[in-house]
Structure 1
Amino acid sequence: MTISIKEISDQAQWNNFLTAQPRGHLLQSYEWGELNRYLGGNIYRLGALQDGRLVGALQLSVAPVPLPASVPGLRLNWLYGTRGPTVEGLDSPALKALIEQAHDIARQEHAVVLRLEPNIADDDPDLHKWLATYHRLGFRSNPIAIHGRRSWVLDIRPDAEQLLANFKMTWRQNVRASERKGVVIREANSEADFDTYYDLLKITSERDDFFIHSKDYNKEILRHFASKGDAVLYLAEHEGEAIAAKMLIRFGDWCWDMFGASSNHKRNLKPTYLLQYRCILWAKQKGCSYFDFRTIPEILEPGEEMWGVYEYKKGFGGFSRLNMPTQDYVYHPLIYQAWRKMVEIRRARRHKERQKIELERAERGKQSSTTK
């Protein structure tokens, strides 16, 4: 079987292949590559072809390695495949061919490491075989992930009433109470609506201490996907005031809960519960089978970062999905080890700080519930 590798510039060809594969992912989509370009990154879309038919795909981004000021003039990069590569099966020769081409690119880009995070999770029956295959190809597992390894997923193929029935009782009550108290969910349809969404996103970022991209980048995301009906921006309003918002993206038969935001007041109206249910219904209407709530803590223990977010998502039903460890192919071991050590130190410091914040939040929640 002869496999040839070439860069793909046909958007439909690329996306049609990915959406036909069980391991295809939004973050390997053609549009997501364009979003990386928008942020100033260099992108390679490698297609593996057999008799002119696409049988494998790997979208790579190039980013600089943060080197200390003591080494001026030295520029090194790293290559990253978020949720890729995607091939038709475990035994496909396309996988080896794509990686060999990536090695050529690594030499051109002076890369320290080729880092892959394939969309292969703990619910894949061949998970261990995939890991063994990557290790035979020279990769090593890295416990530190760039893109969160664990997510919360809901199978939305049951009918709407059954999905609601599967929510935790309090979650169902909050959905109904929010609607009864006059919360209205509508689709954003103007520049002013988008500004409202982004204002809520900034409030949420400040309150919960997480990074958000610029307003223009958020607009770019919506532009790439909404033009084909694959994205929606919802606002939850009460008496004409926006108090929560969500951005959703569909790719294939999956829907991703991309960004959520809420105001600091009228939280007693529980708008996020009704909004979340409407988001699930939108995904069903679009023909999706799965709703991805996105990242939850990798270690499911109280006190971990995003523990409160996890408990919220879990109340809607669903299951935890843990992705396989990051796979690194190292070209420059000494630089790689020094960089990885620096990342580990920063990660440990951040983890300690966030753990303290999460425990304080949990304690405040307990005190609040006992005083009611």
Structure 2
Amino acid sequence: MRCEVRTITREEHLDFVRERPSVSHLQVPAWGDVKEDWRPHSLGWFGPDGRMAGAGLALLRPVPGIGRSLAYLPEGPVVDWDDDDLAEGRLRPMLDHLKGLGAFTVRMGPPVVSRRWSAERVKEAIQDPAAHRLADAEPSTRDERAEAVAERLRQAGWRPAGEGGSGGFALGQPRQVFQLPLAGRSLEQVRNGLNQQWRRNVKKAEKAGVKVVEGDGEDLGTFHQLYLETAERDGFTPRPLEYFRRMWEALRAEDPDRMRLYLASHDGETLAAATMLTVGEHVWYSYGASTARRREVQPSNALQWRMISDAHERGAAVYDLRGITDTLREDDPLLGLLRFKVGTGGEAVEYLGEWEFPISRPLHKAFEVYLATRRREG
């Protein structure tokens, strides 16, 4: 079935999102308000009967000097990825529409899971000297659907982002994430699924008197101070406070439950903070921050447990701790974070990854050369 793709209103897009158990928080209309350097377009897929059969948030970023734009659909679009006519019936109309909006390259992230590893499998892989990457470990489950989707994309001219050595343009969502399933489990079962160290740390925080509260927009400044300390300690470039204020205002204007802020304190000092995002039955731990002071009272474990408990109480099916490293080397600075997430007893989840389609191959190639030059000079 070939669909017609056209620009839809925010409300039409949001109605489509509300009708589903969940979609990525990067595919709700308000996310376009967060990314101020991009021009957001809500797209709708319409079948022959005129009913909407899919939706997506496309972010277009004009490239100076050429009058054309990059188009990006992070963790989207939301369409039937099992459709045998995926390429011509769903994706070709999208490409034609985005070309009409001035795009020279389209990048998307199909929300299709390819493999899963249980917490025990990940733990075994970390301890196995022969396993250098998560991909070296045998997955607990493998989804053949993902392989079929990948084959359809390749045959239609799509390619994995960065294939060919350019690294793709400077975007990208994590391909591997860590998720804690909550559906069908009592909170006691979830707590019993934590590893021994996690349970011990949660109890230690409770005995030490760590308090976790839900904050408001006025507390974003406190969060950001901890976030800056975290960035300096862990060596990443922090986002400005204005970014988080924009997130708070845009997402909560769309839905008051879309974004929440949690703060953990001890003896009146805030030691850790985190943002939580919710779309339908899916909850994400989005940004986290902490100080190196008083780590012995385990504020991060207390913070996460409160967020997991609240997600469970609100009926979430999954608590998503977002990106993890694929590298299992002991010298990888992100390995400690992976161990922390594995302690929840959840599972590592690998998606199909991001894919690109060059609508204009000369412009796409020229842009890749430009990026490669900037990386060498930087």
The answer to whether the superposition gives a TM-score over 0.5 is yes
Alignment partner of 2:91 out of 92, 96, 99: 99
Deviation at 1:42, TM superposition (A): 0.8
What is the aligned partner in structure 2 of residue 359 from structure 1?
A: none
Residue deviations 1:312-347 (CA, integer Å, cap 9, x gap):
111111111111132111234355346446767988
Deviation at 1:114, TM superposition (A): 1.2
Q: In 2, distance between residues paired with 1:337 and 1:3?
A: 30
Deviation at 1:165, TM superposition (A): 1.4
Residue deviations 1:113-144 (CA, integer Å, cap 9, x gap):
21111111114441111112222322122355
Matched, 1:40 2:37: yes
Deviation at 1:49, TM superposition (A): 1.8
Distance 1:348 1:20, change over 3 A: farther
Alignment partner of 1:165 out of 192, 196, 207: 192
Matched, 1:210 2:209: no
Q: In 1, distance between residues paired with 2:349 and 2:233?
A: 27
Q: In 2, distance between residues paired with 1:23 and 1:230?
A: 12
Letter in 2 for 1:287: G
Deviation at 1:231, TM superposition (A): 2.3
Task: Work out whether residues 3 and 93 of structure 1, in 8 Å CA contact, stay in contact via their aligned partners in 2.
Answer: no
Deviation at 1:4, TM superposition (A): 2.9
Deviation at 1:16, TM superposition (A): 4.2
Aligned to 2:306, what secondary structure does the other structure show?
helix
Residue deviations 1:292-321 (CA, integer Å, cap 9, x gap):
100111344433452221111111111111
Deviation at 1:188, TM superposition (A): 0.9
Letter in 2 for 1:41: W
Task: Choose 258-267 or 23-32, whichever is displaced more.
Answer: 23-32
Q: Give aligned-pair identity as a percent.
A: 26
Distance 1:85 1:300, change over 3 A: farther
What is the aligned partner in structure 2 of residue 307 from structure 1?
A: 335
Deviation at 1:290, TM superposition (A): 0.4
Q: In 2, distance between residues paired with 1:343 and 1:302?
A: 31
Task: Work out whether residues 7 and 43 of structure 2, in 8 Å CA contact, stay in contact via their aligned partners in 1.
Answer: yes
Report runs of 4+ in structure 1 exceeding 6 Å deviation.
344-350
Q: In 2, distance between residues paired with 1:170 and 1:15?
A: 41
After TM superposition, the score normalised by the length of structure 1 is 0.82
Aligned to 1:96, what secondary structure does the other structure show?
helix
Task: Choose 267-276 or 144-153, whichever is displaced more.
Answer: 144-153
What is the aligned partner in structure 2 of residue 78 from structure 1?
A: 70
Q: In 1, distance between residues paired with 2:286 and 2:16?
A: 23
What is the aligned partner in structure 1 of residue 60 from structure 2?
A: 62
Aligned to 1:84, what secondary structure does the other structure show?
coil
What is the aligned partner in structure 2 of residue 259 from structure 1?
A: 287
What is the aligned partner in structure 2 of residue 9 from structure 1?
A: 9
Q: In 1, distance between residues paired with 2:77 and 2:37?
A: 22
Task: Work out whether residues 233 and 245 of structure 1, in 8 Å CA contact, stay in contact via their aligned partners in 2.
Answer: yes
Distance 1:317 1:286, change over 3 A: same
Residue deviations 1:234-264 (CA, integer Å, cap 9, x gap):
1101111111101101101110001111112
Q: In 2, distance between residues paired with 1:62 and 1:252?
A: 26
Task: Choose 325-334 or 195-204, whichever is displaced more.
Answer: 325-334
Task: Work out whether residues 22 and 279 of structure 2, in 8 Å CA contact, stay in contact via their aligned partners in 1.
Answer: no
Matches within 5 A, 1:165-244: 165-189=192-216, 191=218, 193-226=219-252, 227-244=255-272
Matched, 1:131 2:150: yes
**RMSD between aligned alpha carbons?**
2.8
Alignment partner of 1:53 out of 48, 51, 59: 51
Alignment partner of 1:118 out of 99, 110, 123: 110
Letter in 2 for 1:62: L
Deviation at 1:201, TM superposition (A): 1.2
Q: In 1, distance between residues paired with 2:312 and 2:223?
A: 23
Task: Work out whether residues 280 and 291 of structure 1, in 8 Å CA contact, stay in contact via their aligned partners in 2.
Answer: yes
Aligned to 1:249, what secondary structure does the other structure show?
strand
Q: In 1, distance between residues paired with 2:100 and 2:78?
A: 23
Task: Work out whether residues 107 and 161 of structure 2, in 8 Å CA contact, stay in contact via their aligned partners in 1.
Answer: no
Residue deviations 1:40-92 (CA, integer Å, cap 9, x gap):
311221101233422111221112458xxxxxx44443211111121135127
Higher relative contact order (CA 8 A, sep 6+): 2
Task: Work out whether residues 79 and 111 of structure 1, in 8 Å CA contact, stay in contact via their aligned partners in 2.
Answer: yes
Deviation at 1:19, TM superposition (A): 5.3
After TM superposition, the score normalised by the length of structure 2 is 0.81
Matched, 1:27 2:19: no
Distance 1:22 1:137, change over 3 A: farther
Task: Work out whether residues 45 and 90 of structure 2, in 8 Å CA contact, stay in contact via their aligned partners in 1.
Answer: yes
Q: In 1, distance between residues paired with 2:30 and 2:337?
A: 28
Letter in 2 for 1:259: Y
Aligned residues: 340
Deviation at 1:177, TM superposition (A): 0.4
Aligned to 1:146, what secondary structure does the other structure show?
coil
Deviation at 1:25, TM superposition (A): 1.6
Q: In 2, distance between residues paired with 1:22 and 1:243?
A: 34
Q: Which runs of 5 or more residues in structure 2 are unaligned?
A: 116-142
Task: Work out whether residues 246 and 257 of structure 1, in 8 Å CA contact, stay in contact via their aligned partners in 2.
Answer: yes
Letter in 2 for 1:43: P
Q: In 1, distance between residues paired with 2:366 and 2:335?
A: 31
